[in-house]
Structure 1
């Protein structure tokens, strides 16, 4: 936001919070990282099982969101939301979920493509997947990015 002090008065000039591609790329990276932290906290029950806490996930998926799982299953938004809501606290507190190597590029017209590795360790070794997400800029979303589509592919077992 821009403010100007002129002749003893303060004037608000407005402005965008994300003005450059660099800002938007950084916002997309934060969104990927925070979303996966949500998953870890939801699965372990660290987050409370409230509509407000769950909204961090459910409100940030486009109405026509789809996910292609590593097994090739196509999941619509409603199935994913219902399944994840039921998974609250179902995994041990020792599970770790993290992302690596997030790369973001513009597709134009407010659309962004991110690729990253998602890793999980449930205590029995690390397992990874390569994920691709399409975002649309969306001012009401926590990082200004709305999830439109995700495609995941298993990575070879970690050694």
Structure 2
């Protein structure tokens, strides 16, 4: 196990979710560089959303771009239980739980993400695949 690669991927998970909060919260969105998000979404990225939809890189980028400033100051994300999974060379799978609070409603999702090294990415890794599964669906 390469602790350095796990540390880079863990930092990327935390930093990207900080980006999401800043991008989605209307009061902060003007100060956020969307290029940071695009830089870490690797070519060929796929995402399986918690509801089962399969999204390609363009769909993920378009969804995030169009969701700018759609939340109030109460929106929050926390990342819990980050653990290394399989690793080989410059590729690692990392498992984590994402907890969200939006409009007083809470949700949690188990995520697994595949990262590869990238010298041009802020934390030295790019997202290649993300799979999210509901642990707690947002209350209605």
Query: What TM-score results when the alignment is normalised by the length of structure 1?
Result: 0.80
CA RMSD of aligned residues (A): 1.8
Shift of 1:157: 5.4
Q: Give me the whole-angstrom Cα distance separating, in 1, the residues matched to 2:136 and 2:29.
A: 31
Contact 2:46 2:128 (8 Å CA) reproduced? yes
Gaps of 5+ in 1: 1-19
Gaps of 5+ in 2: none
User: Moved runs in structure 1, 4+ residues, more than 3 A?
Assistant: none
Q: Give me the whole-angstrom Cα distance separating, in 1, the residues matched to 2:85 and 2:56.
A: 25
Which of the pair has more CA radius of gyration?
Answer: 1
Q: Give me the whole-angstrom Cα distance separating, in 1, the residues matched to 2:3 and 2:9.
A: 10
Match of 1:7 in 2: none
Contact 2:85 2:95 (8 Å CA) reproduced? no
Query: What TM-score results when the alignment is normalised by the length of structure 2?
Result: 0.90
Match of 1:138 in 2: 118
Q: Specify which structure has the bigger relative contact order, considering alpha-carbon pairs within 8 angstroms and separated by 6 or more residues.
A: 2
Asked if residue 70 in structure 1 is aligned to residue 50 in structure 2, the reply is yes
Q: The residue matched to 2:133 in structure 1 has which SS? A: strand
Task: Report the count of equivalent residues.
Answer: 137
Shift of 1:82: 1.1
Contact 1:102 1:116 (8 Å CA) reproduced? yes
Match of 1:109 in 2: 89
Change (3 A) 1:102 1:64: same
Once the two structures are superposed, residues 60-118 of structure 1 have per-residue CA deviations (whole angstroms, 9 ceiling, x without a partner) of: 11121010001100011101111211111011121001110111245212101100000
Q: Give me the whole-angstrom Cα distance separating, in 2, the residues matched to 1:110 and 1:119.
A: 28
Question: What are the equivalent positions in structure 2 for 1:1-159 lying under 5 Å apart?
Answer: 21-45=2-26, 46-48=28-30, 53-156=33-136
Change (3 A) 1:66 1:48: same
Shift of 1:124: 2.2
